[in-house]
């Protein structure tokens, strides 16, 4: 297997990245076809999200390798890693960056939402220190089977250090 050629740094996505970002997210979320039809997002939706938060992206030569949406108030979502690059630590790296950005902005905790049907995600986020704090309805698009969001949270480092 060839080593993965990744950039040494991350950057903030711009509206010019929206089409490539939508392609990345839709490929990463194709695994959810067992409970929803169609694409996870669109370039138009992502540009709209850039008005309230930012997408942090990691590049592979010629394309986006991974991305995460971050709101400085202490929320991240839409973590996406190209399927062929999953397991290489890129998701963990981007979660750490998202936490650092929010911590630096003064957020006291980090929050996220996952679909209850994706049990592997709950295990993975628990391994990063996140805990379930509640549930909310899934209303993003029509589903093939009942599901809901599991809300998770984790205190940020500066809060944990002060305690």
Do the Cβ atoms of 98 and 73 come closer than 8 Å? no
Alpha helices in 29-156 (DSSP H): 43-49, 90-104, 119-127
pLDDT recorded at residue 161: 53
Distant-in-sequence contacts of 19-26, Cβ < 8 A, 24+ apart: 19/43, 20/63, 20/64, 21/46, 21/55, 21/57, 21/64, 21/67, 22/46, 23/64, 24/63, 24/64, 24/65, 24/66, 24/67, 24/80, 24/82, 25/67, 25/78, 25/80
Could you give the CA distance from residue 40 to residue 3 in angstroms, rounded to a whole number?
29
How would you list the strands of the sheet with 63-71, edge to edge?
Answer: 6-12, 54-60, 63-71, 75-81, 109-115, 148-155, 131-137
Whole-model pTM: value is: 0.91
User: What tens digit of pLDDT does each residue of 105-125 get?
Assistant: 999 999 999 999 999 999 999
Distance from CA of residue 36 to its chain's centroid? 18
Do the Cβ atoms of 138 and 118 come closer than 8 Å? no
Do the Cβ atoms of 130 and 152 come closer than 8 Å? yes
Output the six-digit token pair for 129. 């220190």
pLDDT recorded at residue 62: 73
Query: Which fold, 6-162?
Result: Aminopeptidase (3.40.630)
Per-domain boundaries in the chain: 6-162
User: What tens digit of pLDDT does each residue of 39-86 get?
Assistant: 999 999 999 999 999 999 999 877 899 999 999 999 999 999 999 999
pLDDT recorded at residue 157: 80
Could you give the CA distance from residue 157 to residue 42 in angstroms, rounded to a whole number?
33
């Amino acid at each position: 297997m060839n080593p993965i050629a990744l950039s040494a740094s991350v950057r903030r996505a711009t509206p010019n990245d929206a089409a490539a970002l939508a392609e990345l997210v839709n490929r990463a979320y194709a695994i959810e076809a067992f409970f929803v039809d169609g694409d996870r997002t669109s370039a138009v939706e992502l540009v709209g999200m850039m008005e309230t938060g930012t997408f942090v992206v990691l590049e592979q030569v010629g394309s986006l390798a991974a991305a995460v949406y971050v709101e400085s108030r202490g929320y991240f979502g839409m973590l996406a890693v190209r399927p062929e690059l999953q397991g290489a630590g890129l998701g963990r790296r981007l979660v750490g960056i998202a936490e650092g950005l929010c911590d630096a902005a003064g957020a006291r905790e980090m929050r996220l939402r996952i679909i209850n049907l994706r049990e592997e995600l709950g295990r993975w986020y628990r391994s990063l220190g996140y805990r379930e704090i509640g549930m909310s309805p899934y209303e993003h698009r029509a589903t093939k089977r009942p599901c809901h969001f599991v809300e998770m949270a984790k205190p940020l480092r500066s809060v944990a250090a002060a305690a």
